[in-house]
């Protein structure tokens, strides 16, 4: 259903984010990372994607990419006034 909505031209970033979450739940981490990065590329203000993409990159052992994604998310979260996300992104960075 998500694929159909995206294919129909729906621009809601949550649809792409939810699709990435489903892909991750299936265990296809490479595809999930690509899907999260697509959300970031098309909707950089959609803050949750940064943490999820950073986590998946970390799971894949792509630590430098994870660091770049998480670091890019912090100013976006600050701009959005999302202190919780700032804290979570910072904690994820510290764990790398």
Which tens digit of pLDDT belongs to each residue from 31-87?
A: 999 999 999 999 999 999 999 999 999 999 999 999 999 999 999 999 999 999 999
Question: What does the pLDDT read at residue 9?
Answer: 67
The architecture CATH gives domain 2-95: Alpha Horseshoe (1.25)
Question: Would you give the DSSP letter of residue 29?
Answer: H
Give the pLDDT confidence score for residue 7 in this predicted structure: 62
- Predicted local confidence at residue 29, as pLDDT: 98
Which run of H or E residues covers position 37?
Answer: helix 29-42
Per the CB < 8 A criterion, the answer to whether 53 and 36 are in contact is: yes
Mean pLDDT of 11-22: 91
């Amino acid at each position: 259903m998500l694929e159909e909505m995206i294919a129909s031209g729906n621009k809601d970033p949550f649809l792409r984010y939810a699709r990435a979450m489903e892909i991750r739940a299936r265990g296809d981490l490479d595809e999930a990372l690509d899907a999260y990065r697509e959300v970031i590329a098309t909707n950089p203000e959609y803050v949750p994607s940064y943490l999820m993409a950073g986590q998946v990159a970390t799971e894949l052992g792509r630590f430098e990419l994870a660091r770049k994604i998480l670091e890019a998310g912090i100013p976006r979260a600050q701009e959005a006034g999302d202190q919780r996300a700032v804290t979570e992104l910072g904690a994820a960075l510290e764990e790398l």
